[in-house]
Structure 1
Amino acid sequence: MKQMPSGCKTWIRGAYAALVLFACVFMQLPARAQAVNSEAQLPALAQRWLDQTLATQAARMEQPVRLQATLGPLDSRLKLAPCARVETYLPPGSRLWGQGRIGLRCLEGATRWNVSMPVTVKATGSAWVLRRDVAPGRPLEADDLMLAEVDWAAEPSPVLAARDAWSGQVATRALGTGQTLRQNMVRAAQVFQAGAQVRVLVQGGGFQISSQAQALSPGVVGQLAKVRMDSGRVLTTTVLDARTVQVEM
């Protein structure tokens, strides 16, 4: 395996890390090609390629996730000419995660052809699951969730595998018992309203000062909020907690 390009080393927490790493590894895999005499040999060829590709990816993922691919049927109407070299590949814009397709193309034969097959990739691993219903807008608590083995790839939104990924978050909609907690189900909590008095921390090279200000917009942890200083100056700050915002100089 070649050395991973620097662009693939970007870290992204939780399920994003697994998806990005998978894409980086997959793009470096060498093409595997072999001869086939008829379309009946294609499913076995495709399954071997999938098993090898997913085994390589699983060994490199940061999260302990078990990957399994199941091929759908090849179009029964196809009658393909024998081919000395058939390559299995991932079509542009596709990914081996959930529902997708893989391609098989003839590189050396009297008749060149290119076909595809449906594939379902399951990614089984530990993630947080709702042990009881949660109303929209309610903060998540430890008793609301439990760890369970789930299919990370069952839905497009990434799972929240780490506890700190949902701690302090609130439900964006009604959540039901048994649901796997995913990124689109939660958001950061609002910690103060417009008009609240907040402390402004101003940080720069080797110094930090604080002052009081009035919030001009609601405050959500980690997001931007505007405040008005006693001097009348309006600043765009980052919300740290229910009483503190920060400005970096």
Structure 2
Amino acid sequence: MAGRFVGWVARLSVAWCVAMSPSWAQEVGSEIQSAARIWVAEAVQTASSAASGAMRMEVSLGSLDPRLKLAPCGNMESYLPPGSKLWGKARVGVRCVDGITRWNVTLPVTVNAWGKAWVVRHQLPTGAVIGPDDVVEAEVNWAEEPSAILRDPALWSGFQVAKPLSTGQALRANMVRPAQVFQVGSPVRVVAQGAGFQIASDGQALTAGVVGQSARVRMESGRVASGTVLDVKTVKIDL
């Protein structure tokens, strides 16, 4: 009986040593890389298919930390960590859901998305108003920065530069701001609109006007009200 017990312990020890040997560790590492690579490729393909416009996607998967010694796993599950997205520099997780030891690791991944965008022709200082002559269309990496690319000219034409821009920079949402269309004291047209009627009168701006934003005006009657700036001389007030 004692001999059988010793033999069983010996076989268990041998099995454990084999499972944790360098060759097994390398095999587990290769399986993790493969699982992550397949999952990322499918996820990026799905995302690019759903996106509007033609994008050229590039994916680069990093390596697992070679110091990790992970036990074999019967079933691995790849996932995207909470708060992350496959855009630019990110990490993808792989966890063991069926094995002697339940482990969980992450690998670095870089996703580049190349597509057409508007880039600055020359340096633009803060406050400059952007026009068609200031930009040119070129292919850029949309995922190089987190801020969204401004593909539609309506989102940047006539807007002001929010921070200094250098030649070759792609226009992004955090680089522009609506332009000021009138100053304090400027004469404006006030359009008061209610259910089934509209009244227009002259007024004076009490605050600077930016299209789409709120501004305070004094009407001919002396009444002060706030409304939405529509253009260079019109403020709409909803009654």
TM-score range, shorter chain: 0.7 to 0.9
Give the SS at the match of 2:85: coil
**AA matched with 2:102:** R
Aligned to 1:201: 191
Aligned to 1:236: 226
Note if 1:192 corresponds to 2:182.
yes
Note if 1:109 corresponds to 2:77.
no
1-side partners of 2:54 and 2:209: how far apart?
A: 36
Aligned to 1:145: 135
Aligned to 2:236: 246
Aligned to 2:46: 56
Q: Give structure 2 stretches of 5+ with no counterpart.
A: 1-25
**AA matched with 1:178:** G
Contact 1:43/1:74 (<8 A) preserved: yes
Aligned to 2:215: 225
1-side partners of 2:157 and 2:194: how far apart?
A: 29
**AA matched with 1:241:** D
1:45-95 deviation digits (Å, cap 9, x = unpaired) = 211111111111111112322322211121110111111110000011111
Contact 1:100/1:118 (<8 A) preserved: yes
Q: Give structure 1 stretches of 5+ with no counterpart.
A: 1-35
1-side partners of 2:116 and 2:164: how far apart?
A: 23
Aligned to 2:147: 157
Note if 1:178 corresponds to 2:168.
yes
> 1:185: how far off?
1.1
1-side partners of 2:47 and 2:232: how far apart?
A: 42
Aligned to 1:24: none
Bigger mean CA deviation after superposition, 111-120 or 200-209: 200-209
Give the SS at the match of 1:143: helix
1-side partners of 2:55 and 2:237: how far apart?
A: 39
1-side partners of 2:114 and 2:79: how far apart?
A: 24
Give the SS at the match of 2:217: strand
Runs of 4+ in 1 over 3 A off after TM superposition: none
2-side partners of 1:90 and 1:117: how far apart?
A: 10
Aligned to 1:77: 67
2-side partners of 1:239 and 1:64: how far apart?
A: 36
Q: Look at both structures and tell me which one has the larger radius of gyration over its CA atoms.
A: 2
Say which of 156, 171, 176 aligns to 1:166. Answer: 156
Overall identity of the aligned pairs, in %: 50
1:28-57 deviation digits (Å, cap 9, x = unpaired) = xxxxxxxx9512221122111111111111
**AA matched with 2:216:** K
**AA matched with 1:74:** L
